[in-house]
Amino acid sequence: MITIYGIKNCDTVKKARKWLEQNNVEYRFHDFREDGMGDVPLPQWLREFGWEQVLNRRSTSWRALSDAQKSEMDNASAESLASETPTLIKRPVMTKGDDTLFGFKADSYASFVK
């Protein structure tokens, strides 16, 4: 089963969900805000990919962090901050079994859902 993690009003999440629906791909959507962070495999993502790939360093949430928070960022602090402020996580995140994909690009999605 494919799961999409994100925030429903995020434009990129909307594009990804629209692409999945247009391509008749069944998926479950987990909204960070509405569904909470309890079932989100954030520690696993950080272990596998590192905070640099998991966090969106172009987001408003990232820019709101202090210079000290940014310069001292590691997986542990990323987990703590992203758990409290899930808008720091690069969206959407799509999982299928043990595979994970960050962001949305139609070509990547087409390969991923096969």
Instruction: Tell me which residue range forms the domain holding 68.
Output: 2-112
> What CATH number is associated with residue 57?
3.40.30.10
pLDDT in tens, 74-108: 999 999 999 999 999 999 999 999 999 999 999 99
| Active-site residue, 57 included | no
The answer, yes or no, to whether residue 109 has pLDDT greater than 90, is yes
The active-site residue out of 3, 7, 10, 83 is 10
Sign, Cα dihedral of 113, 92, 37, 65: positive
Burial of residue 55, with CB atoms counted within 10 A of its CB: 0-12 exposed, 13-18 middle, 19 or more buried: buried
Q: What is the pLDDT of residue 108?
A: 95
Question: What's the token pair of residue 15?
Answer: 């594009």
Q: What is the pLDDT of residue 114?
A: 84
The total of structural domains in the chain comes to: 1
pLDDT in tens, 3-48: 999 999 999 999 999 999 999 999 999 999 999 999 999 999 999 9
